[in-house]
Chain A
């Protein structure tokens, strides 16, 4: 079986899908809108659950797409799309025209813009940062506050932009709890004198080795877990952060003073996905992620025959799941092209 496949999106899912397709013998064109492939993985430091170096996964993916069957166009996104019989004709924003027999959409997610949660003061109070900002701080090794001092008391706010009617995202982003636990441990390792608090509604540790990481955070690293969603953040006269939350297990409102606050920003469908979706006519579901043909056995299949999904443009998922999802997309592509041949 031969064929040409376009993969839109050069993050984890796109690179994995492209690599698998190329190994199987398909010709692949990989479109990536940034100048560098790898997506969000480029900004992560160590990955849960085993805290291995994210660069190792990037290395694996880069080697995977180092294949003569793959042509990558960086700085390119889909601009127009039409179907002629069973062929797809795509044009990119720089004018490149590509013909394909099938398409995999792997346009990924964006993090929730934490400024929208106004009461948390992101972009207003100096030492309120997001989990993504903290990963960059881990990469650079500089964990200092805005005023150059080392933070003594650090808090993690779970569910920022998720499970929240007020910002229009009813769903759970799945990965933020384990990310918070991981980052809490990493802070405790680097700042042994620090006190770390996680403010959670639920501890969603639904992945292999996640619960164990949570236990380790408590037992080995002394991370404090307070069951309550942070209601409001303010800045004191001495520039510390004043956090208001209810300790629901104690049944009392709590006002706690911290040096730094990390917002666990949730996952939303990316703007790139929305753009591509509009160009191609892809359906989205109630939570604005792309809608799969079937929730159980068709999660890679879109509303358009021959167009398939891989990765977080369909739902929040971790890297392991993303890579599996991408491989499943390749399997669906092969079935589709096989049926066309017959």
Chain B
């Protein structure tokens, strides 16, 4: 494989990413399942880089999950998103930092739609005004939070306490990067590196010392499928697609999976547990499963954060094999302690535990 070929493609898709004064909108799934990741992002941007990242408490879900499971109409989601633009205008922000990939895809799609169908923009202005009395402007910059971490990956590398190197073998860590479908598949120009060989996560992995594993199903959807997961009767679709990806990456023996989408992280983690329960199959080496991390969790590890402050203990697939490979010291006794040091109960039947 010729890596230079991929580099050439990445350079064709240079995306404008703002570098300060962000209006931050959260992800429903990440708030529930990976709250540590969102908090790392805010902490890193504000306290380490000194950036202005503003979170308006009045912002809500973008309703993207409802839209993509076809219960929320187009006009509704456009107006909900316009309301966020109105909150931006009210708080004086022109750059938006979006935590969820489906959400990012929607903001991008809606802005494109308003360009092609200006009458929809007018209708949305009327609806929002009628419902809330608010008015809005189009943001100047729309970035996903993984774009922003990508933008500052070298700053993170400079401050790195550990690099993504397997301490036992001395080899760079083998990382499978999985990009959420809605990041670049709809509008390749809105993703760093385009839709075919997106660079947002591989750029991070490589800046921090790892190498990226290319495998045949790399671009394949994790299988969230919205309604295909939300409704129990459909979950076969969801688990099958994730299984397909893991079967494809298995021979390459990756050390971890890195994702930038809330659903993807959750599914690549949880379905390994389900598949193990259903079929006794694991995709890692020695009967282990492969740890799945968000980019904030990985950045946090690189910067020397305590893995238990990042929330790695709250995945189904535990990360200890990865932490050992990276030579990261961790306190087993600290894993399930509260913030003020009280011991919590220990969860049972986790994977890799």
Q: CB < 8 Å: which of A118, A125, A232, A242 contacts B1?
A: A125
Interface members, chain A 112-132 (any B CB < 8 Å): 115, 118-119, 121-126
Flag whether A237 is at the interface (Cβ < 8 A): yes
Say yes or no: A234-B2 contact (C-beta < 8 A), given A118-B194, A119-B196.
no
Q: Which residue of B lies closest to A123 (CB)?
A: B5
Whether A115 contacts B251 by the Cβ 8 Å rule is: no
Please, which residues of chain B bring their CB within 8 A of the CB of A237? 215, 251-252
Whether B5 contacts A124 by the Cβ 8 Å rule is: yes
Chain A min CB distance to B166 (Å)? 20
The residue among A118, A121, A125, A234 with the most chain B CB atoms within 10 A of its own CB is: A118
Whether B2 contacts A235 by the Cβ 8 Å rule is: no
Flag whether A236 is at the interface (Cβ < 8 A): yes
With the chains together, A59 CA to B252 CA distance in Å?
53
Say yes or no: A115-B5 contact (C-beta < 8 A), given A234-B217, A242-B216.
yes
Flag whether B219 is at the interface (Cβ < 8 A): yes
Please, which residues of chain A bring their CB within 8 A of the CB of B6? 124
Say yes or no: A124-B251 contact (C-beta < 8 A), given A119-B196, A236-B216.
no
Flag whether B332 is at the interface (Cβ < 8 A): no
Q: CB < 8 Å: which of A119, A123, A232, A242 contacts B2?
A: A123
Please, which residues of chain A bring their CB within 8 A of the CB of B219? 232
Please, which residues of chain A bring their CB within 8 A of the CB of B194? 118
Flag whether B157 is at the interface (Cβ < 8 A): no
Please, which residues of chain B bring their CB within 8 A of the CB of A118? 9, 194, 196-197
The residue among B4, B6, B216 with the most chain A CB atoms within 10 A of its own CB is: B216
Q: CB < 8 Å: which of B1, B9, B216, B218 contacts A115?
A: B9
Please, which residues of chain B bring their CB within 8 A of the CB of A125? 1-2
Whether B216 contacts A123 by the Cβ 8 Å rule is: no
Chain B min CB distance to A294 (Å)? 35
Chain B min CB distance to A324 (Å)? 39
Please, which residues of chain A bring their CB within 8 A of the CB of B217? 234
Please, which residues of chain A bring their CB within 8 A of the CB of B218? 234
Interface members, chain B 1-19 (any A CB < 8 Å): 1-2, 4-6, 8-9
Please, which residues of chain A bring their CB within 8 A of the CB of B4? 123
Please, which residues of chain A bring their CB within 8 A of the CB of B251? 237
Interface members, chain A 125-150 (any B CB < 8 Å): 125-126
With the chains together, A119 CA to B6 CA distance in Å?
11
Chain B min CB distance to A263 (Å)? 14
- With A115-B5, A125-B2, A235-B216 known, 4 other A-B pairs at CB within 8 A are A115-B9, A118-B197, A234-B216, A237-B251
**Residues on A facing B (Cβ under 8 Å):** 115, 118-119, 121-126, 232, 234-237, 242
- 22 residue pairs of the A-B complex, CB under 8 angstroms, read A115-B5, A115-B8, A115-B9, A118-B194, A118-B196, A122-B5, A123-B4, A123-B5, A123-B8, A125-B1, A125-B2, A126-B1, A126-B2, A232-B219, A234-B214, A234-B215, A234-B217, A234-B218, A235-B1, A235-B216, A236-B216, A242-B216
**5 tightest Cβ-Cβ pairs between the two chains A and B:** A234-B216, A124-B5, A123-B5, A118-B196, A237-B251
